Structure 1
Amino acid sequence: MTNTAYPHSYYAASANPVPVRPRLQGDVETDVVIIGAGYTGLSSALFLLEQGFKVTVLEAAKVGFGASGRNGGQIVNSYSRDIDTIEKTVGPREAQLLGHMAFEGAQIIRDRVAKYQIQCDLKDGGVFAAITPKQMSHLESQKRLWERYGHTQLELMDQRRIREVVACDQYIGGLLDMSGGHIHPLNLALGEAAAVESLGGVIYEQSAATRIDRGASPMVHTAEGKVRAKFVIVAGNAYLGNLVPELAAKSMPCGTQVITTEPLSEELASTLLPQDYCVEDCNYLLDYYRLSADKRLIFGGGVVYGARDPANIEAIIRPKMLKAFPQLKDVKIDYAWTGNFLLTLSRLPQVGRLGDNIYYSQGCSGHGVTYTHLAGKVLAEALRGQAERFDAFAGLPHYPFPGGQLLRTPLTALGAWYYSLRDKLGF
């Protein structure tokens, strides 16, 4: 049997110690079987275990192997499409539910870190940086929108103020969200997995789900065993493959790239980001960056539609980093990696149920660190019969990509090119 290891990344190289977890071999019975040990699966498992369910998690590779252990590490509120888009899509009651939930995931992360003493370098403060007047106007509207839903830890920054928090002369202003922040994403996942096991949950690694037998008592098969359960939660996101064809038809894996510098001097690091906030710009194809605990700059951006691995990640991302911080021209890049997220046509997450007992959440569209933690809570509520919030997500409309699987990648890339051109032209 193959043994899938973590990709070569800064996060894998600096991960906390982890136990060796077994493969699934033989037959297991449980209350809930969860497919995927990323944030969605781990968050679901924790909420269910805390409510007395017996939980088994199947992971095809290792805990946090996918986007949960490779992302930019930024805690960003709301969804990939903001609440104003949702308000135009659903009724007022559902909009209120979804709007108030938009800020819950960040608090769930902080609660988990505190309750289970997870060592993941948690820092407060995230900046949305505006490059054009149009983007600044959008941030002003976003602040009003978020405050309408009770989120008040926000500060609009003019050009002078943003220069105090990030040494980049591209920005004309920004929005500081003190309930945002950043973490070591793989260590967060590893800490949550340890919490799952401390409550009696069982995690099998190197145990990819190969088939789901649907019915009154569903069964999930792996190469060497099977799990019978009362409920199944499908939480594989971009790494699910075609296990559930009806989910694959309405989503598309996409790749994003990240580089990490060598450790910077204390003086240089504190010059770049004096308050140690994380930053993302407001472009359609955005750049994002932050400092690690050992003072490296972690910088990501770009999208590869269809999730192909670029031949030279550093060649793609380093110029973006130097455009923001030309003072880093002589700094060495120690790590470069790619990871996949799952894109939906609406850019909103897909939540639902297949039959009576197979639940799923997928398609964070690049905005998943906070949403996935909320999704775990919402899925656990639904399994207990409290489905109001689950139904609000499930009611969001979703569509297959135009052209099917053959044309979805080029058509989506063409649309992204159009919006990227708009960013460059400033309109």
Structure 2
Amino acid sequence: MQTHVNSYYAATRNYTGDFPVLEESVDCDVCVIGAGYTGLSSALFLAEAGYSVTVLEAAKVGFGASGRNGGQLVNSYSRDVDVIEQRYGEKSAEILGSMMFEGADIIRQRIQHYDIQCDYRQGGIFAALNKKQFKGLAEQKSSWERYGNRNLQLLDAKDMAREVGCENYVGGLLDKQGGHVHPLNLALGEASAIIGLGGRIFEQSAAENITYGEPNVVRTAKGVVRAKYLLIAGNAYLPQNLDPRVTRKSMPCGSQIVVTEPLSEKVARSLITHNYCVEDCNYLLDYYRLTADNRLLYGGGVVYGAREPHDIEQLIRPKILKTFPQLKNVKIDYRWTGNFLLTMSRMPQFGRIEKNAYYMQGYSGHGVTCSHLAGKLISEVIRGDAERFDAFASLPHMPMFGGRTFQAPLTAMGAAYYALRDRFGI
């Protein structure tokens, strides 16, 4: 039996019970493989629209990245709209740009409508470590305002010093349409909403075999689901052999997080005055925020190929001390790693496997908000409106270079090059 990783989130989750194991034959409109944000958001939108939905989860609801991430609601995609326009043209940029801020809005609506207790706080800061990054933030502000985000404030060095107790930043960009949450409690709250609408969720019920057709047939160790529509939403935790057409164009990567002991209110506010979340602008970025009980949650680093690092605290503590040297004696209470799914283009991969079977994956580190948008798009497709889904599906899904054997070391070499650029501000 797979349980949640030993994280701060698991220790403070609202629901500690189990969903049942599938031990029967189920017929439904839609079968969703994966109970992370993509699967949960999709199932919830579809249940609201009156479809009968069955969700199959190999482990626990929120077991993967959805229950382990930094909890930051970061708008846009891993490649911003200017890059989208350069690569894919003005039309693609226009339609994808129009959806950039929708994911965070969906999360806020879900929290309010279903009264999900997940410690939501408004506002996130992008922090610039050099003049080049600050110039990029000014351009980002202008670009995002073009697409409708009017809740942005450019921060100079003095502004940043008032917001964050760190002397390393030359400026920043505050996005009040961003924010942060307890990600596992968000996932569990959405699962509860699905159940309340008549949907069914089964844990410890890995999909072992798929037969595509009308209906699609998904078999687990002890049960079977027959569904008119199928959505594969396993992301970085999807077994490679379930359908290689889905898994061969992306690569799981690991990211590490630590959480400190509780800090006093005074110390917590001296670190982040207005309780915003923060991420820097480096290619290999660091990110951090305060939890509801005034702990510092700090994440960063990437392990390509999703290997488990030997000592997570040894990787992250130097980053904390570089940002907040005043925390040199702080105790670390929690440490964990989790996988996200990286694509070659850094854009999410949405597509059709068969005419009534779909996949959505590969958010490349921007999954919290984009996965919620994904759920809305798949519900639109199944209800007969594919325009917005197809705007993503039409993007090229390039294979990771090097194949399964060499993709991790080759990607790490490329990342090392960009890390050097970060270090020298070029």
TM-score bucket (shorter structure): over 0.9
Q: Which residue of the partner structure matches residue 75 of structure 1?
A: 73
Q: Which residue of the partner structure matches residue 111 of structure 1?
A: 109
Q: Which moved more, 1:114-123 or 1:351-360?
A: 351-360
SS of residue in 2 equivalent to 1:348: coil
**Equivalent position to 1:229, from 227, 230, 245:** 227
**Aligned letter for 2:331?**
K
Distance in 1 between residues matched to 2:385 and 2:93, nearest whole Å: 18
Q: How does 1:128-167 map to 2 (within 5 A)?
A: 128-167=126-165
**Aligned letter for 1:361?**
M
* Displacement after TM superposition at 1:89 (Å): 2.5
The 8 Å contact of residues 43 and 372 in structure 1, kept in 2 or not, is answered as yes
Distance in 1 between residues matched to 2:17 and 2:230, nearest whole Å: 25
- 1:26-78 per-residue CA deviation (whole Å, 9 max, x = no partner) reads 21100000000000000001100111100000000000000000000000000
Identity fraction in percent: 62
Distance in 1 between residues matched to 2:193 and 2:159, nearest whole Å: 40
Q: Tell me the C-alpha RMSD between the 2 structures.
A: 0.7
**Aligned letter for 2:340?**
F
TM-score, length of structure 2 as denominator length: 0.99
1:246 equivalent to 2:255? Answer: no
Q: Which residue of the partner structure matches residue 7 of structure 2?
A: 9
**Aligned letter for 1:237?**
N
SS of residue in 2 equivalent to 1:31: strand
Q: Which runs of 4+ in 1 moved over 4 A?
A: none
Q: Which residue of the partner structure matches residue 207 of structure 1?
A: 205
1:328 equivalent to 2:333? Answer: no
Distance in 2 between residues matched to 1:172 and 1:95, nearest whole Å: 30
**Aligned letter for 1:267?**
K
Distance in 2 between residues matched to 1:129 and 1:262, nearest whole Å: 24
The 8 Å contact of residues 94 and 392 in structure 1, kept in 2 or not, is answered as yes
Distance in 1 between residues matched to 2:96 and 2:181, nearest whole Å: 25
Q: Which residue of the partner structure matches residue 396 of structure 1?
A: 395
Q: Which residue of the partner structure matches residue 379 of structure 1?
A: 378
Q: How many residues align structurally? A: 425
What stretches of structure 2 of length at least 5 have no aligned partner? none
TM-score, length of structure 1 as denominator length: 0.99
Distance in 1 between residues matched to 2:217 and 2:89, nearest whole Å: 37
**Aligned letter for 1:235?**
A
The 8 Å contact of residues 89 and 396 in structure 1, kept in 2 or not, is answered as no
Q: Which moved more, 1:241-250 or 1:230-239?
A: 241-250
Distance in 1 between residues matched to 2:171 and 2:125, nearest whole Å: 10
* Displacement after TM superposition at 1:335 (Å): 0.3
Q: Which residue of the partner structure matches residue 120 of structure 1?
A: 118
* Displacement after TM superposition at 1:273 (Å): 0.6
Q: Which residue of the partner structure matches residue 186 of structure 2?
A: 188
Q: Which residue of the partner structure matches residue 355 of structure 1?
A: 354
SS of residue in 1 equivalent to 2:245: helix
**Aligned letter for 2:180?**
H
1:48 equivalent to 2:41? Answer: no
**Equivalent position to 1:218, from 216, 219, 239:** 216
* Displacement after TM superposition at 1:96 (Å): 1.2
Q: Which residue of the partner structure matches residue 19 of structure 2?
A: 21
* Displacement after TM superposition at 1:247 (Å): 1.4
Q: Which residue of the partner structure matches residue 171 of structure 2?
A: 173
SS of residue in 1 equivalent to 2:372: helix
SS of residue in 2 equivalent to 1:229: strand
Q: Which residue of the partner structure matches residue 36 of structure 2?
A: 38
* Displacement after TM superposition at 1:355 (Å): 1.3
1:289 equivalent to 2:288? Answer: yes
**Aligned letter for 1:30?**
C
- 1:356-391 per-residue CA deviation (whole Å, 9 max, x = no partner) reads 111110000011100000000001100111000000
**Aligned letter for 1:357?**
N
- 1:275-324 per-residue CA deviation (whole Å, 9 max, x = no partner) reads 00000000000000000000000000000000000010000001000100
**Aligned letter for 2:239?**
G
Q: Which moved more, 1:217-226 or 1:91-100?
A: 91-100
The 8 Å contact of residues 18 and 190 in structure 1, kept in 2 or not, is answered as no
Q: Which residue of the partner structure matches residue 422 of structure 1?
A: 421
* Displacement after TM superposition at 1:23 (Å): 0.5
- 1:154-209 per-residue CA deviation (whole Å, 9 max, x = no partner) reads 00000000111100100000000001010000000000000000000000000011
Distance in 1 between residues matched to 2:83 and 2:206, nearest whole Å: 36
Distance in 2 between residues matched to 1:173 and 1:90, nearest whole Å: 31
Q: Which moved more, 1:40-49 or 1:19-28?
A: 19-28
* Displacement after TM superposition at 1:18 (Å): 3.7
